[in-house]
Amino acid sequence: MALYLIGDVQGCDAALGRLLDAVAFSPSRDRLVLLGDLVNRGPASLAVLRRAMALGDAATCLLGNHDLHLLAISLGVRPPHRSDTVDEVLHAPDRAALLDWLRRCPLALFERGVLMVHAGVLPEWTAAQVMHLAAEVEAVLRGPDWGDFMHQMYGNQPDRWRDDLRGAARLRVIVNALTRLRFCSPDGQIDFDTKTYAPDSAPPGFMPWFDVPGRRTASGVVAFGHWSTLGWLERPDLISLDTGCVWGGALSAARLGADGRERELIQVRCPQAQAPGAA
């Protein structure tokens, strides 16, 4: 059984279809993990959600910041941005089923020795801790009070992890790390101020989260998306898969071997009329 990881689709359903054709994906024999940001900015978010949902157990879709943004818009928690392209989802006849399916997607996955998240992990977290913390948020999103949490989810404080955090503050840090993280300090402070996302543009005292010395997940493999200006990056401890499809780049898949160490990159081009921007 082949396992494919695919980076940020962001509403580019045609490219996703071409990529699945390129790898001859078969739901009866293969597994697919979409690393978050299924929707928004691209032209066909509704088609992406319907395709992913129809794959059933053959696909696992992680929640990214744009997916959470869609859920927040659906509740009136956040207003739509001018550049959002999710109206088709919000007015679809199957809106309720799609949004219910989306809020039940996980924030992290561990499979074949690879920890998979949308954005990143804080340096003091182990892979087991990431899975435990993600499950805390998932339980709330899947529960009857998920709307109450969505009203408290947004914000930049606290900007670092503490084991004694409780309630909405605790869940907010987990969500921010797993769906928004790019730069952090060696002691795990999350940078929320930098608007230029080139990997070498970290502000003083900060660095890409995966380069923090002593990061506790460095002994394993972390796969992530979210960082289109970083693009494809493969190291023994990392697989970066957001290659800027919606900005005119490529949509990328990594075929993983049995232990997650053997990898093959497959890409399709994804021309879009979008101007470059942060994904």
Whether the CB-CB separation of 221 and 237 falls below 8 Å is answered with yes
Separation between Cα atoms, residue 65 and residue 35, nearest integer Å: 11
What's the confidence (pLDDT) of residue 272? 64
C-alpha distance across the termini of the chain, in Å: 31
Helices marked H in 158-244:
167-180
3-state secondary structure of 255: strand
* Block mean pLDDT (10 aa), the chain, length 279: 96 97 96 98 97 98 98 96 96 98 98 97 98 98 96 97 98 98 97 88 96 97 97 96 96 90 91 50
Structural tokens at position 259? 């232990």
Separation between Cα atoms, residue 7 and residue 264, nearest integer Å: 14
For residues 178, 35, 74, 190, the Cα torsion angle rounded to the nearest 10 degrees is 20
Sheet architecture: strand order including 250-256: 59-61, 31-34, 3-6, 250-256, 263-269
Query: What's CA 42's distance to the chain center, in Å?
Result: 16
What's the confidence (pLDDT) of residue 275? 41
What's the confidence (pLDDT) of residue 279? 45
Separation between Cα atoms, residue 117 and residue 47, nearest integer Å: 23
Separation between Cα atoms, residue 251 and residue 116, nearest integer Å: 17
**Would you list the domain boundaries of the chain?**
3-269
Whether the CB-CB separation of 178 and 136 falls below 8 Å is answered with no
Separation between Cα atoms, residue 227 and residue 212, nearest integer Å: 17
CATH for 3-269 (3.90.190.10, 3.60.21.10, 3.90.1200.10, 3.40.1280.10):
3.60.21.10
Ramachandran angles phi, psi of 208, nearest 5°: -55, 140
- Dihedral of alpha carbons 31, 220, 234, 160, sign: positive
